[in-house]
Amino acid sequence: MTEPPRDDLGQPVPVNGPAVRVVSLVPSLTESVAAVRPEALAGATDWCTHPAGLAVTRVRGTKNPNLAVIRDLRPDLVLANQEENRRIDVERLRAAGIPVWVTVIRTLDEAFASLRRMFTAGLGWPEPDWLTEAEGIWRTPPNGPRLRVVIPVWRDPWMVVGSRTFTGDLAARLGLDNVYAGHPERYPHVPLDELTAARPDIVVLPDEPYQFSAADGPEAFPGCRVALVEGRGLTWYGPSLLTARDRLTGQLGLPPAGPR
Could you say which architecture CATH assigns to the domain 22-127?
Answer: 3-Layer(aba) Sandwich (3.40)
Residue-range domain boundaries for the chain: 22-127, 147-252
The pLDDT assigned to 188 comes to 98
Cis preceding-peptide flag for 141 (omega within 30 of 0):
no
d(C-alpha 236, C-alpha 81), whole Å: 12
Superfamily of the domain at 147-252: Nitrogenase molybdenum iron protein domain (3.40.50.1980)
Q: Nearest 10 degrees: CA dihedral of 94, 95, 98, 102? A: -10
pLDDT digits (tens, 9 = 90+) for 27-76: 999 999 999 999 999 999 999 999 999 999 999 999 999 999 999 999 99
Q: What is the mean pLDDT of residues 127-141?
A: 95
pLDDT digits (tens, 9 = 90+) for 95-105: 999 999 999 99
pLDDT-derived band of residue 258, with 50, 70 and 90 as boundaries?
low
Tell me the whole-structure pTM to 2 decimals.
0.93
